[in-house]
Amino acid sequence: MKKFCLLLLIPFALHSQNVVQETEFLLDKKKYEQAEVVIENYVLDNPNDPKSIELLGDAYAYQEKWDKAVEQYKKLVDLNPRVAEYQYKYGGAMGMKALEVNKVTALFMIDDVEEAFLKAIALDKNHINARWALVEYYVQLPGIIGGSVSKSLQYANELESISKVDGYLAKGYIYEYDDEPELAEKYYKMAIKTGGSLNCYEKLTAFYEKQQQPDYAIQNIEASQKKHNRNALHYQIGKVAAEYNIQLEKGEACLQIYLENYSAEDGVPKAWAHYRLAQIYRIQNKKDLALNHIQRAISELPKVKVFGEEKSQILKL
């Protein structure tokens, strides 16, 4: 009899596994609406299954449906309050929701957001994301309601003890936000020297762009390209060149290389490379070439407003 009961349970277990795996696959492929559809009904039938509830919360969060994400992550916290990741996701979704509501409502949410993050790091001494969340929380919150650079640095130091790269990036972020560019640059460079990931280079590039230092930005992207050899970085060089009207020949060459070697993995659609080429040719007063590329951009992505605006500028040449 026991064996018979186990045999009956096998199809249910396989169905559960298939639903979870399909949802995870869809989320990985950034097909968030499809993932939501797959997992939503399953959660209705299995309201106490933590894994499926978490995946549904993730599907909502990726789509910025913060009310629904908070609801699912709250279920997780209620089911098992001692799981650090549940607390982190709950706090994160509440924090994002607080950014969308009016300031008075947000004030009543702030303590709950902080509490969830603090619970996460209390439960997991090595939880990197929760510490990052606290760094951003204390930096962005006005001082009158608890914001504090010193508190942010406290968690950046904790990050550094767990992961030097994350600690350096966190300090770069804090000092950039606190308008101390020399210290920000120092720590972003330390992150590159220690870790050297694409993300490290991207943070320093973004910093240089915000500081209106496009030549340094291009120099940094070239260093990243030398290390990582990613076609997407050719687009980034072309983008900076076009936006800041510098090193235009290099920008043009990089955008042509990007288009010649383009694949979906590069991330930025070809239309944007054509748009950047159109900008460069407009600056160089090459009207026919500029029109050719802006037309290509518009034909591929006709709803992008800036493409039409660029065409209007070109036609005035």
What is the spatial distance between Cα 107 and Cα 8, in angstroms, rounded to a whole number? 51
Q: For residues 116-139, give the mean pLDDT.
A: 94
Residue ranges of domains in the chain = 230-317
Superfamily of domain 230-317: Tetratricopeptide repeat domain (1.25.40.10)
pTM: 0.84
Dihedral sign computed on CA atoms, order 188, 189, 195, 196: positive
Q: How confident is the model at residue 144 (pLDDT cuts 50, 70, 90)?
A: very low
Q: For residues 78-102, give the mean pLDDT.
A: 90
C-alpha distances (whole Å) from 72 to each of 32, 53, 158 are 16, 6, 29
What is the C-alpha radius of gyration for the chain, rounded to an integer number of angstroms?
Answer: 24
Q: How confident is the model at residue 146 (pLDDT cuts 50, 70, 90)?
A: low
Residue 3 has pLDDT above 50, yes or no: no
Q: How confident is the model at residue 23 (pLDDT cuts 50, 70, 90)?
A: confident
Mean pLDDT, the chain, integer: 91
Nearest to 183 by CA among 217, 146, 149, 225: 149
What is the pLDDT at residue 95? 87
What is the pLDDT at residue 16? 57
What is the pLDDT at residue 138? 87
